[in-house]
Amino acid sequence: MKQRENWGSRIGFIMAAAGSAVGLGNIWRFPYMAGDNGGGAFILIYLGFVFVIGLSVMIAEFAIGRRTGLAAVGAYKSYSDRWTFAGVIGVLSAFFIMGFYPVVGGWSLAYVFKSLTGLMSDAGAIGDAFGGFIGNPVEPLGWMLVFLVFNILIVAKGIAGGIEKAARILMPTLLVLLAFLTLRSVTLPGASAGLEFIFKPDFSEVSGQTLLAALGQAFFSLSLGMGCMITYGSYLSKKETLPNNALIVTALDVGVAILAGVAIFPALFSFGMEPTAGPGLVFVVVPIIFAEMGAIGPLFGAVFFIALTVAALTSSVSLLEVVVAYLIDQRGMERKKSVYSAGGIMIVTGILSSLSLGVMSGVTIFGVGFFDFFDILTDKIFLAIGGMLLAIFAGWVVKKEDLYDELTNSGEKEFGLFNIWYNLIKYVIPIAVAVVAVMGITDIEQTGLMIFGLAIIAILAIFSPKLS
């Protein structure tokens, strides 16, 4: 049996895992959610959830991955055939996310070029330009392909030689770029209003919905529930201390989210723009701000979109690796063959997603285009249920002794909080994540899509012993 790949260094693993956790949501979703849900009050609630629930689940994923030495599907199956479906849900989640994520990564790459060449110097035309760009049947496809090729080349090089080497360059680059943007943003006239929007506690805005939003953000922002951290954990040396590494990864993810907010919102308020989130924030509002800055605007625009591209790339690499690791572990394929096979299919789904925003907008599945279909299916159904199943699996299926053995390195390291952590995983977190799952599923407007997603999970559960 071929020896399993390993991370070359602790710092390399931490950078790769943090890169997996850090994604587009840190930059275009978290800052707005904070400001719109009570500012500092939301951040305090979010920090509580992320370091109690998110961190606990990440520790469990690392432990399960390293204990079994297998990626998502194999890790679940090694304990029980009946749990194979939970791993398959993770692989499908990663695969479907890669159906639309490279499209947005391609947009980011395109906007680096547009910033440097002065194509976004007219603030009044930027909104229409974005609509025209994503509706173009050719240009976004080219950039999406370039972005996917970057992913394929990195993952094909393996763990230490590809993913780790790239992460050691990309993550520090992201932090430096965001710090550079932050220094400029906070020195703009009126920047204090943006800082107030994000950080000033307003507990009158806190409601039950706020708590759910904070809990959902804490869970999903760490790339949990889709097998990424199980897969990355499976390549870990037995010498590594899992709780400490998970804490550092979580802190880096939170730090990037807060840094992104400080980089964007002071500038947004300085130029009198309305706070928003999502693609509208980063591809319309932010470029308008840079256009208003005058001659220096293109430089800051390019820096911002390089940072956005890096955040997208570090996440998408881990998603591709989840699928590739399944093909290697369970199908016996060589790494390069599995990368090219998975990447080839993702090119097709990416093309469908991109065209669904333009010439194929009339082609729908359950009332939505391909882009939204992949997005809703994963964000509202697969990830939440996958996370809930993971917590149940860790608390009720994996032996307590196995977890203790992994988290203390066979008794060589201290983990004084083990019993507290174990009770959280066993009793508290499954209920908390189940609430998020129910809220997400019931929030889906397309009933047919909701039934379809749940039916897939039910079918996988029934036939799980044959899915390895």
Is the confidence at residue 220, as pLDDT, over 80?
no
Question: pLDDT value at position 38?
Answer: 82
Query: CA distances (Å), 253 to each of 148, 182, 283, 416, 421, in order?
Result: 23, 17, 22, 24, 20
Q: Name the band, by pLDDT with cuts 50, 70 and 90, for residue 286.
A: confident
Number of structural domains found in the chain: 1
Question: pLDDT value at position 292?
Answer: 84
Q: Name the band, by pLDDT with cuts 50, 70 and 90, for residue 151.
A: very high
Q: Name the band, by pLDDT with cuts 50, 70 and 90, for residue 126.
A: confident
In a domain, 349, yes or no: yes
Q: Looking at this protein, which amino acid is placed at residue 387?
A: G
Nearest to 393 by CA among 108, 150, 84: 84
Sorted by sequence, the CB contacts under 8 Å of residue 37 that are 6+ apart come out as 205, 206, 210, 213, 214
Say what angle helices 55-68 and 429-442 make with each other, to 10 degrees.
110
Question: pLDDT value at position 468?
Answer: 56
The pTM for the full model equals: 0.93
Query: CA distances (Å), 59 to each of 40, 198, 208, 254, in order?
Result: 27, 29, 27, 16
Is the confidence at residue 191, as pLDDT, over 70?
yes
Is the confidence at residue 450, as pLDDT, over 60?
yes
Q: Name the band, by pLDDT with cuts 50, 70 and 90, for residue 242.
A: very high
Taking only the tens place, the pLDDT of each residue in 73-106 is 999 999 999 999 999 999 999 999 999 999 999 9
Which residue's entry shows tokens 């400029």? 184
In a domain, 163, yes or no: yes
For residue 88, give its domain range: 10-466
Assigned token pair, 4: 């399993």
Is the confidence at residue 427, as pLDDT, over 60?
yes
C-alpha 317/C-alpha 45 separation (Å) is 30
Assigned token pair, 347: 């090119």
**What radius of gyration do the chain's Cα atoms show?**
21
Comparing 166 with 443, the larger pLDDT belongs to 166
Instruction: Give the least confident one: 72-81, 274-283, 317-326.
Output: 274-283
Sign, Cα dihedral of 156, 13, 391, 219:
negative
In a domain, 279, yes or no: yes
Q: Name the band, by pLDDT with cuts 50, 70 and 90, for residue 31.
A: confident
**Max intra-chain CA distance, the chain:** 63
C-alpha 468/C-alpha 466 separation (Å) is 6
**226 membership: H or E segment, kind and range:** none
Tell me what the mean pLDDT of segment 141-148 comes to. Answer: 97
Which residue's entry shows tokens 């881990």? 318
C-alpha 159/C-alpha 452 separation (Å) is 35
Tell me what the mean pLDDT of segment 193-219 comes to. Answer: 85
Per-residue burial over 337-358, b if 16 or more Cβ lie within 10 Å, else e, is: ebbbebbeebbebbbbbbbbbb
User: Considering the chain, what is the average pLDDT of its residues?
Assistant: 91
Question: pLDDT value at position 467?
Answer: 56
173: domain CATH number is: 1.10.4160
N-terminal to C-terminal alpha carbon distance within the chain: 18
C-beta separation of 103 from 136 below 8 A: no
Query: CA distances (Å), 369 to each of 73, 349, 447, in order?
Result: 29, 12, 15
Q: How many CB atoms lie within 10 A of CB 199?
A: 18
Taking only the tens place, the pLDDT of each residue in 325-381 is 999 999 999 999 999 999 999 999 999 999 999 999 999 999 999 999 999 999 889
In a domain, 2, yes or no: no
Angle, alpha carbons 218-31-428 (nearest 5°): 15
Question: pLDDT value at position 437?
Answer: 86
In a domain, 5, yes or no: no
